[in-house]
Amino acid sequence: MAQAQKEFSVVGKSVARIDAFERVTGQAQYTGDIQLPGMLYARVLRSPHPHARIVSIDTSKAEKLPGVKAVIHHENAKVPWSSGGHTHQRFIFNNPVRFVGDAVAAVAATHRHIAEDALKLIEIKYEKLPHVLDPNEALKPDAPKIAPSGNLSVGKGNFSAPIEETWGDVEQGFKEADRVFEDTYFTKHVNNAQLERRVSVAKWDAGKLTVFASTQGVSNARTDIAKDFGLPLSKVRIVCKYMGGGFGNKNQAQDYDYMAAVLAKVAGQPVKLEFSREDDYIGMHGRWASEQRYKIGVKKDGTITAVALDAVTNMGAYRKQSGNLSGTDFYQIPNFRKHIKPVHTNTVVAANYRAPAYPQSVFGFASFLDQIAHEMGLNPLDMFMRNRIQKYKSKIPFTSNYLEECITEGAKRIGWQEKWHKAGALDGQKKHGIGMALGGYPYRPGLGAATIRLNPDGTAHVLVGVTDIGTGAKSTMAILAAEALGIPLSRIELTNGDTDVTPYSVGESGSRTTPFTGPAVIAAAEDVRRQIFALAAGQLKVKPEELELRNSEVFVKSDPTQKLPLQRVVARAGELIGRATTNRSFKDMEGKSFCAHFAEVEVDTWTGHVTITRYVAVHDSGTIINRLAAESQIMGGVSARDRHGVYRRADHRQTHRGTS
């Protein structure tokens, strides 16, 4: 939803990905496709215990197996993994091990089957330690201590605990309410299960480390590895041209990148380390589980007067991300208090998975509002509309907010007024229902960089550090460059994802790539245009500011018939280079995209089968860069949320208490 926008040449159209042909024909080279001369293959041994101290580790038999070139573990590869945990130090191999699946050793061999056989020959003696899997049990005074500082995950800055946020007067808000409701919602740990398994290829040349990584951020990965290996940034190169999905858990550098690098150094040969799907599930993070206890005060008409959220989030053995819950962000709450305890348990680590802090509590809070509407005999549509957010924290304006229009349009398209009815109003085996929820995600501009080289034939080469995790980031940057330069998209070549060649990029996470790197691409294009106009001004005998460039033609604004082909203007210029580093920010405003989703469902009460008969998603998206990509992202998100929503609703344990 948006107001009428400027007509663009490329922006806003449905454009196929610039690398679509390579992807669908198998020409795209993903990390797993890379083969280097003399390359070895690595596998990882994992702990079978949730909590244990390694008393001894004997790798002699594995080392003697023909074809084995390197074996590493905590005693000979004590390499820190800084981004793997922010509250207590984490290494690529840890002693004690803190969850089933914690890495214990890695082997590099001439064939992956040899590496797998070698793992079976490693002899480890464990001293089992008490463990705790439930976060509430972990908070008890007598619970086994997982982190040195205890099981409440206390770190610095964004990793402090408990996570607290408050505004207004919550207790007064509850006094002003006509009714107060309390309820608890649960969500489980969910693995990202991206199509591409985790894989890394590492090699060393004259003291320089090159890692072909399946990463969402080459710049972040280089920074992490340089820091933890004690190397200058100039001695680390990260390459990721194609990436097969990550959904948040492939940003930065991962432990398998480190293991591949250490094995390659020990063996003196390139090493490819690829996780099995089992490795992926038990050894890598997924979305954190949560227990959300809500107390909500409302007026008779459904207006919210106060909300208190007390929650526990299960971060597993290490805290890689915040553990926050932010699903209340889309509602106007005058009095609010949030108290969240991120907790360590002896379970697999939890961290980012597509809008990290939101899906868990979007589910919980919207479900509870729907239940409250039912209890009070209200139409849920009226309740969501009445309580839609208008200002951030009730005081800060948004850069744009069309949430009301999203709700109105969505209700109209799904036929809410004609189809909605109270629960239990229809008889028969199959029950019909219609529901809705509000959502979105924050956005902000930030640090980005880009270089554009204009060739003597009028074609352009864009260099950006972005990777493309399925969102079409490469195409987005090419579209922005074509629009800003004034040349057809077909005249754009793009190089991405190589820290030796491309400039800084924030990484594909947090909806940051377009607002961070996009402005830099536009600024670099404007730099090139200034140089073009300086050249063309003499040829057309006008001032540079009197010129325009569109569709690869330079012309005089006041008289478009006075024009020159771009190729002719720059033919003798050699190469024009535009560079930009931008770092924009908001002042006294908050950026957030909004949406309203509606679902019509049919439930067979005999079989339990749920059928979604109609789904409507309405998004306040601002300027659409590529309509095809935007629609595809929404459809993919809807597909994932449908599955998660049905699963979570089945898991909801109601402890509802309503008071008048």
CA atoms of 507 and 494, how far apart (whole Å): 17
Edge-to-edge strand order for the sheet containing 163-167? 163-167, 336-344, 304-316, 289-298, 179-187, 657-659
Phi, psi of 573 (to 5 degrees): -90, -5
Reported as a single tens digit per residue, the pLDDT across 164-203 is 999 999 999 999 999 999 999 999 999 888 889 899 999 9
Of 145, 149, 143, 48, whose CA–CA distance to 97 is shortest?
A: 48
CA atoms of 343 and 60, how far apart (whole Å): 39
Contact 552, 528 (CB under 8 A): no
CA atoms of 510 and 351, how far apart (whole Å): 13
Residues recorded for the chain: 660
pLDDT the model gives residue 653: 39
Letter string b/e over residues 607-643, b meaning 16 or more CB atoms within 10 A of that residue's CB: eeebeeeebbbbbbbbebbbeebbebbbeebbebbbe
In order of their start, the domains of the chain are 445-583 (3.30.365.10)
Contact 228, 81 (CB under 8 A): yes
Of 636, 593, 600, 629, whose CA–CA distance to 616 is shortest?
A: 600
Below-70 pLDDT ranges, the chain: 1-5, 641-660
pLDDT the model gives residue 424: 83
* Tokens 């010129």, located at residue: 547
- Count of CB atoms within 10 A of residue 203's CB? 23
pLDDT the model gives residue 510: 83
Provide the percentage of residues in the chain whose pLDDT is more than 90: 87
Of 475, 463, 467, whose CA–CA distance to 500 is shortest?
A: 463
Contact 286, 249 (CB under 8 A): yes
- Count of CB atoms within 10 A of residue 563's CB? 17
